[in-house]
Chains A and B, each alone.
Chain A
Amino acid sequence: MRNIQKYIVLSLLLGTFAMTYAQQTPAPKQTEPFSIVGATAHIGNGEIIENAIIYIEDGKIKSIKPASGVNEVFQYKVIDAKGKHVYPGFIATNTTLGLIEVGAVRASNDDDEIGAFNPHIRSLIAYNAESKVVESMRPNGVLMAQTRPQGGDISGTSSVVQLDAWNWEDAAYKADDGVFLNWPNSMRRGRWWLGEEPGFKPNKDYQEDIDKVKSFFKNASAFSKAKDATDKNLPFAAMEGVFNGTQRLYIQANAEREILDAIAFAKAMNISKPVLVGGYQAYKVVEKLKAANMPVIVQRVQDLPAMDDHDYDLPYRLPKLLADAGVMVALGYDGEYWQARNLPFYAGQVTQFGMSDEDALKMITSNAAKILGIDKTTGTLEVGKDATLFISEGNALDMRGNKISKAYIQGRDISLETHQTELWKRYSEKYARD
């Protein structure tokens, strides 16, 4: 009897535990076709279809068109979304999602490997598909993400994941999409431990630092040409895709001079798909960026200016400055990993300066997909592409409108519950009892 009681208590405990601590179960494959009817469809390429009918089958968008006006007859399930908005799933670039669970708990951090040149370090390996942080992205419309290692000169190789998966293999949307290079800085903080004065001063080793990067690239390039590599060099080998154009090279640089040096470097090294990441002063060199066909994943939009003298709204406006000049822009998130769910609001922030909602949307959907090289299958609400999309009550780029009732990843009807919504419900219920 006592044992039975024990088991009951235990199972209750487990139940509670399961309820508050387990992650949402990934949704099963789409088995039945369905249509979303009556919503304003934000295509993601700058266009809108009012009162749209979106037909989804086998995880793909089979058709998308305005309602004809005559009574449509639907063969399959219909989701009524009249007065609502449908968006392609937002794609967060330049994140560390799934690599850090609790920032201050070192044991839960897997984002930064030791060593300087780490292209062989792959984020996908440590990506925690069951992270509570990952699931918290989805109720805000962030359904896909690029996750990348941090640190070093070459941080490692990033991957694109979809955010509803059992494990990392399952999550991988584009494995090993590119390599992240941190461009050296021409200014450096005084190293007090070497007796240098504090404050940022010109880095006397800047050229030397660049030479080290160049040397690594040249060696890696030479290695890739070796016919029979008996002594396989893992870091060199991991660069092959960068040289043969199957992988991007993401170069992180912020100041004008560093960006110019990075552009010249990419050209000298024959990098076919370079992407600038950060780009705080990229607006000063737009012609060079365009000539080099180099898109930009801009730094966190909601950031402070780097200097007292800079316009208070420079980081807010930066994406528009670039887009207006004809540079392809996506919004990244290089801040706290858990904040990536605010990505839609970064796009919204840019609309303060006159960028249209639809253009702003591109920066977190189609542009992101193009830059990551996944635009053939995702990033817009177009026929043939993945049915990775969501239904929002209002403008999803505004906090008040971003209320999501349904979200699909490749047609799968995913849960919008999270650890946080469960706690919300649990405690709302507690107070309802009183």
Chain B
Amino acid sequence: MLFKQLSFIGLLLCSLTFYAQDYFPKNDGVQSKNNNYTVFKNATIHTSPTETIKKGTLVVRDGKVVSVGKNVNAPANAIVIDLDGKSIYPSFIDIYSDFGIEKPKRPSGGGRTAQYEGSREGYYWNDHIRAEQEALGSFKYDSKKAKEYVAAGFAVVNTHLHDGIARGTGMLVALNTEGDDASRILDASSGNHFSFDKSVTSRQSYPGSIMGKTALLRQVYHDADWYGKGNVPTKDLTLEAVNKNKDMVQIFEGSGLYDALRIDKIGDEFGVNYLIVGGGDEYKRIDEVKALNRTFILPLKFPDAYDMENPYNASYVSLEDMRGWNQAPTNPKVLTDNNVNFALTTFSHKSPKDFKDHLMKAIKYGLSKEKALSALTTIPAQLIGQSDKVGSLKDGAWANFMITSGDIFDKDTDVYEHWVQGNKTVLKDMSIKNIDGKYNVTVAGKTYELTVENSMEKKPKATLKKGEDKVPSEFSYSDGWMNLTFADGDKQFTRLVSNVSDGLSGKAILPSGAEQSFAASRTGDAKEDKEDDDKDKEEKEITVMPMTYPNIAFGFKEKPKQEDMLFKNVTLWTNEAEGIIENTDVLVKDGKISAIGSNLKAGRATVIDGTGKHLTAGIIDEHSHIAAFSINEGGQNSSAEVRMADAVDPDDIDIYRNLAGGVTAIQLLHGSANPIGGQSAVMKLKWGSSIDDMVLEDKKFIKFALGENVKQSNWESYSRFPQTRMGVQQLFVDYFQRAKEYEDKKKSGQPYRVDEELETIVDILNQERAISCHSYVQSEINMLMKVAESFNFRVNTFTHILEGYKVADKMKEHGVGASTFSDWWAYKYEVNDAIPYNAAIMHKEGVTVAINSDDGEMSRRLNQEAAKSVKYGDVSEEDAWKFVTLNPAKLLHMDDKVGSVKVGKDADLVLWTDNPLSIKARAEKTIIEGTVYFDMERDAQMREEIEQEKNKLTTMMLAEKNKGLKVTEPKKKDKQHLHCDTLETIH
């Protein structure tokens, strides 16, 4: 049992501390070089995960393997250890650790006001880029932690300072408890590290979001390149380090699946082959993970079951979390099955000793033992380029190995000794004999039945019986001696003592004081076999719930497929010159609208009776913040470089809820924390698909914002420019001017520093990226149009635009569209004059008007919000309907494909139970490109299945608690619904 109680840990100094050719003076005695060999013979030697030598010999000297093989002769000057019946395994390597590195401290004090500037000189402008850090500088060998690692089977760790987004170099350390750093440090710069976590040592606010972090890293690579070419007259030690370390192995820590996708993208863009530290949830989208073709470093921390005893508390646990407990242990197996290469790490555990249970669980859930061993030995060795030194037992490699009683991944196996660089740590004394079993003990003519259990443990247990009666007894077993005292009758003590070398027989001291020998004959095992079998059987029966797309409640069992459909006899809202056509047929083929007319032939298409129902184009929400991990990069007054596509959460249930409200596409906008926000992700809501399949990459938009939010008027912040609308205008002029100059330089053929932010703004000037600008009052609306005109481009859309009705004529003239709330107002000072007639007035003045949500709840009933334009301002039903379909399609430059029902356009359709503007209307089917993503009937079925599955998992968790396994208290997902002004997501 590799990981049984490790209470026997004792450290014995071995004779093999190594002495190479010394160049150190010695003043405390004579030179005493030990050139003897240590020879381990007759062992089953696993030299690597794939190679085993039976009855093999391992020869070790100076901490290294001299030879290993079947027919190896022991040198004359050798200490020989006979390991007959025992096994030797190469030691494990933890490739991702913070061993021996002092945790950096958060600076104390500091106010609530954000810090925008960096705090270092001679380094990169952003404090969270710390590529110049070297693990060696903050390394101090931690012998306590080292012992924990050694006891858990690890001989070598790859450690670094876990602080910052670029974290600098790590080091490879052997956990040689008796050596010194001179022997322990195998490689002082063993890799270059990255993460998405900011440095705790700085309060610099940028980057404050996941998209900001990815954008910053991209810029760092550009800057390093620029610096490396000698274009910067001053010193930047950070960028120097980035360039210096780029040929090392690059390790990037993510916190899960979606970080991995982001890391991969950065890697692709800059040609870096990152090793990705995973999150353990890769199984959820294994096809996408497989397609990355990256190698992972996997933590093995599986969630505990939840305590479901209290049904009220239990009801807060989501299906997603319940499945996480059930499915996560399959992650290593799933990755193996899909040929995704990985090494394992103890990183997510508080102590390496907690790793064991999780590894055994992974094996129970299908991880092969061979893969487990290689993921802990040869793979990490290879990943850090040290295969010749660590990870396997071969000539010249470090003598890092374990001696076990058998299969290292068998729960009953004992690990006796762990040798690191030739130094031995005893985990369990292998000279102790296992005396577990049932014995017949005959003393003074009487026969007793003795049962001994756990004799290899610190507290062995023994029971003594005479016939059926239990006899009171005291038992001890240590240092090879057994003592048993029992009282057969009142105070009639008999003492037995035995050196167990020859069975349990020995000397008995009778109550009378007389001494005589006693005999003990073994009759069988201590435990009944049947019991063991039952347990084994139970453990083999593992139920793993099937995955869904996505893997949360209301995910699909199978990815929905495109189908051909014929809608018969519907009322069709075309949004075209034909207007609303009653009793018509619509044929959908290959994801497109193929025909509209009467009595269309179905062919192979599924026929859907639309009698009494209405068919429309799908709703498009011009202003949405669903499906995002983060909304605002407010760390700077411009964040044009950030991309919302880097922050898409494809598993957000609000996608499904939007579909249930007839929404087929959204613009995921950056928030309004700064005047120049980030690049939008225009998405089709293909629930269960990958981010790449949802995001329309050719739709290039950017969020701008005006007014109270960008002035930071409604929270305590006075240090960031601009604080007034006057400043906002100057900020825009400044950025557009700089972008113009940047482009001039670029065009001139001179060398230039690639600036992600200005590149984006240049696109705006060239009308290649369109602005959707958050706006409220008329002065600022007018202002931005004038600024744009002075730079010869046009604003595409004003979003919110609550005072648009005051300048509708100017908007019409400028050619800008409007995407507004139907009736929101009063929530802050700048919306005092917001009126629900806004849409109607702008529409009447010829502005392209859309109605948007900015809200995950409202977005799923935008049909009703459109209907409010009928009430407020008497817009016709047909035009009102365009406010949420064709017009937002126009504003998002996608009306060539969607927004109306026209032959040749995408089949993004909604079948409604009623007139879509009616308060009674519900979406019955929502279709994107011919695939049904929402279906009322399927929804009803899913509700039942969710209940059933939760019930099953609850029962399984209750059983887990019953078995005495660890359970954790129920937890409810702390979901934050995001809006424009949401500054931070909850962890």
Contacts and interface: CB of A to CB of B under 8 A. Distances in A.
A103 B835 contact: no
Contacts of A103: 826-828
Contacts of B657: 304-305, 312
A328 B827 CA distance: 32
B919 A397 contact: yes
A351 interface: yes
A201 interface: yes
A397 to B, nearest CB: 6
A351 to B, nearest CB: 6
A307 B974 CA distance: 9
Given A200-B316, A400-B917, A352 B826 contact: no
B920 interface: yes
Contacts of A428: 841
B312 A186 contact: yes
Contact of A102 (B654, B829, B950): B829
A105 B828 contact: yes
B452 to A, nearest CB: 44
A308 B973 contact: yes
Given A201-B969, A308-B319, A397-B919, A256 B312 contact: yes
B857 interface: yes
Contacts of A403: 871
Contact of A104 (B319, B714, B919, B987): B714
Given A133-B826, A312-B660, A199 B974 contact: yes
Interface string B795-832: 00000000001101100000000000001111111001
Given A342-B823, A402-B871, A431 B319 contact: no
A44 interface: no
A105 B806 CA distance: 24
Contacts of B837: 420-421, 423-424
Contacts of A421: 835, 837
A351 B312 contact: no
B424 interface: no
Nearest to B835: A420
Given A102-B828, A312-B657, A431-B841, A307 B870 contact: no
A165 to B, nearest CB: 19
A231 interface: no
A351 B315 CA distance: 29
B235 interface: no
A123 interface: no
Contacts of B973: 199-200, 307-308
B643 interface: no
Given A105-B828, A351-B920, A304 B312 contact: no
B566 interface: no
B970 A427 contact: no
Interface in B632-669: 653-654, 656-657, 660
B971 A201 contact: yes
B572 interface: no
Interface string B857-887: 1101100100110110100010000000000
Contacts of A104: 708, 713-714, 827-829
Given A348-B919, A403-B871, A431-B845, A308 B986 contact: no
Contact of A399 (B315, B320, B825, B870): B870
Interface in B266-325: 310, 312-313, 315-316, 318-320
Contacts of B873: 424
Interface in A413-434: 419-421, 423-424, 427-428, 431, 434
Contacts of A427: 805-806, 808, 841
B313 A202 contact: yes
B312 A189 contact: no
A101 interface: yes
A48 interface: no
A399 B868 contact: yes
A47 to B, nearest CB: 21
Contacts of A101: 826
A313 interface: yes
Contacts of A419: 833
Interface in A291-307: 302-305, 307
B918 A398 contact: yes
Contact of A349 (B806, B829, B919, B977): B919
Contact of B971 (A200, A309, A342): A200
A434 to B, nearest CB: 7
A101 B973 CA distance: 33
B922 interface: yes
Interface in A158-215: 186-187, 189, 198-202
Contacts of B320: 308
A199 B538 CA distance: 34
B660 A105 contact: no
A307 B987 contact: no
Contact of B553 (A198, A309, A345, A420): A309
A307 B313 contact: no
B943 interface: yes
A128 to B, nearest CB: 12
A50 B316 CA distance: 49
B972 interface: yes
A281 B656 CA distance: 22
Nearest to B919: A348
Contacts of B828: 102-105
Contacts of B943: 311
A132 B827 CA distance: 12
B267 to A, nearest CB: 30
B864 A257 contact: no
A180 B477 CA distance: 70
B835 A423 contact: yes
A224 to B, nearest CB: 33
B921 interface: yes
B871 A348 contact: no
Given A202-B313, A398-B919, A431-B808, A309 B318 contact: yes
Interface in B827-856: 827-829, 832-833, 835-837, 841, 844-845, 856
Interface in B944-963: 946, 950
A397 B919 CA distance: 8
9 contacts: A104-B827, A104-B829, A198-B987, A342-B823, A352-B920, A399-B917, A420-B825, A423-B833, A423-B835
Interface of B: 310, 312-313, 315-316, 318-320, 552-554, 653-654, 656-657, 660, 708, 713-714, 805-806, 808-809, 823-829, 832-833, 835-837, 841, 844-845, 856-858, 860-861, 864, 867-868, 870-871, 873, 877, 917-922, 939, 943, 946, 950, 969-975, 977, 986-987
Given A304-B856, A309-B946, A311-B943, 18 more contacts: A102-B826, A103-B828, A132-B832, A186-B312, A187-B313, A187-B316, A199-B971, A200-B316, A255-B312, A302-B857, A304-B857, A308-B554, A336-B826, A338-B827, A345-B864, A345-B919, A398-B867, A398-B920
Closest 5 CB pairs of A and B: A348-B919, A104-B828, A200-B972, A399-B867, A338-B826
